[in-house]
Amino acid sequence: MKTIENLLIEIAKMGKEKKSRPFLSEIQPFKHFLDEKGDLLINELDVQDGAWTRREILARYLVLSAVLDQGPDMEGVRRMVTDVINELYKKEIRIFHRPLDFFKEIGVAVDNILKSHDAIKKIRAVLWARTNKTNPEKYNLFMDNSKQVLNYTIFRWGVPLALSLLLEKDNLTLIDYLEKWESSEIMSQQLKDNNRYGLGKAIGDKASHLFVKWYVDSFRIVKNKEKSWGPLSYELPLDSNAGRVLFRTGYLLHLTTLKELEKWEVIQRNKGKSGTHYIRVTNLRGKKSTPILNNRQLFMKYVSISRDYLKTSKNPRTVEIQRVPNVLLLGTNYGIKDIDDGLMYIGTNMCFNLEAPKCKNCPISKFCEGYNKNKKLIKDYRT
């Protein structure tokens, strides 16, 4: 297990250097929330900004951003979200201060989303297509490969904004609702699944954990100072970049077998590009790791993570694979944010979804089983 522990530490080191988060400093209504360096003024989060505190306004923004922060071109997505928010605020459509504005002016929102998407496509499509060896005409930031802007606007923008609106109607703030739960991990589940306030299919597990990462670590908006709301209190967001890097490096094969991964359809044979094997890492959630369970020292760490940090079980009997990074980072100076930021950087800059990624330039190449021992892990698998 020392091999994958060292691998995660190297990924986390990279994540410390290469942070991945929304362009907060470029969003006009938040300019006065930042210092001269563009860093968030943490000590002023409870200053009022109209009817709400800065903390509340930023939390509303991060919920929306987590829902939208998906797609084939992350830079393009974040640019579009920033552009649309700035344009709406210029028109006094203050969607985080007054969520109802968005629905009252839905036509303006639709027009600005279309305008921004078309402008970004002109700038980004050719470069994106060249990097991914595909056609520039396939460039689409609307998610689910949807071409209907109204569906995207109402479902992906409208649902998270409606959450803040509904909480207002119930005389609650988003902050109070989020931090009523025992841990940030439980909060991430409730953000999606709560019967009254859950965002449902508008947000996936990956996006829910991405929001927690930003809320707890990246921007440190969280008020609760308990370790159940700290750097190891939530699961790693699992997306295609994470899946590709964690499989190709051999990390997943230290936690289970290829046969099990195929049984769980984490690996789907011959269903990837050009007949390769498809990696669907989201299917990994909830699956068990026998090697960790059989390692007494690591299992006791897992018990501590489950009981004291995630608050998901006081006496776990099995080990869920998606929680192993928390175990391996326990006692280090790194958290889940660092792992996720590192995976994002490596997955988007070196470990491309291609047969021949930039392995020689990769900072974790000496720890990578696919690069050093088994080239098939890279050549034969895609996300």
pLDDT score for 30: 96
Beta strands per DSSP E along 203-339: 267-268, 277-279
Mean pLDDT score, 241-245:
95
Q: Assess whether pLDDT exceeds 90 at residue 59.
A: yes
Please tell me whether residues 61 and 135 are part of one structural domain.
yes
The 10 Å CB-count burial string (b at 16+, else e) for 124-158 is: bbeebbeebeeeeeebbbbbeeeeeeeebbbbbbb
Mean pLDDT score, 49-61:
97
Please tell me whether residues 258 and 127 are part of one structural domain.
no
Q: Assess whether pLDDT exceeds 90 at residue 146.
A: no
pLDDT score for 185: 98
Structure tokens at 261: 């991964």
* Structural domain ending residue among the three candidates 162, 178, 194: 178
Please tell me whether residues 148 and 289 are part of one structural domain.
no
How many domains are contained in the chain?
Answer: 2
Flag the least confident range among 121-130, 276-285, 362-371.
121-130
pLDDT digits (tens, 9 = 90+) for 256-272: 999 999 999 999 999 99
Residue that wins the pLDDT comparison between 189 and 129: 189
The answer to the question of residue 315 being in a domain is yes
The answer to the question of residue 215 being in a domain is no
Please tell me whether residues 26 and 164 are part of one structural domain.
yes
pLDDT score for 355: 87
Q: Assess whether pLDDT exceeds 90 at residue 49.
A: yes
The answer to the question of residue 268 being in a domain is yes
Split at pLDDT 50, 70, 90, the class of 22 is confident
The answer to the question of residue 264 being in a domain is yes
Residue that wins the pLDDT comparison between 253 and 70: 253
The answer to the question of residue 223 being in a domain is no
Share of the chain above pLDDT 70, in %: 100
For residues 326, 223, 172 and 34, what is the CA-based torsion angle, rounded to 10 degrees? -110
Please tell me whether residues 173 and 78 are part of one structural domain.
yes
pLDDT score for 347: 94
Q: Assess whether pLDDT exceeds 80 at residue 132.
A: no
Residue that wins the pLDDT comparison between 120 and 146: 120
pLDDT score for 312: 96
Please tell me whether residues 173 and 252 are part of one structural domain.
no
Beta strands per DSSP E along 172-216: none
Q: Assess whether pLDDT exceeds 80 at residue 137.
A: yes
Please tell me whether residues 251 and 355 are part of one structural domain.
yes
The answer to the question of residue 56 being in a domain is yes
The answer to the question of residue 366 being in a domain is yes
Domain hosting 333: range is: 240-382
Q: Assess whether pLDDT exceeds 90 at residue 74.
A: no
The answer to the question of residue 156 being in a domain is yes
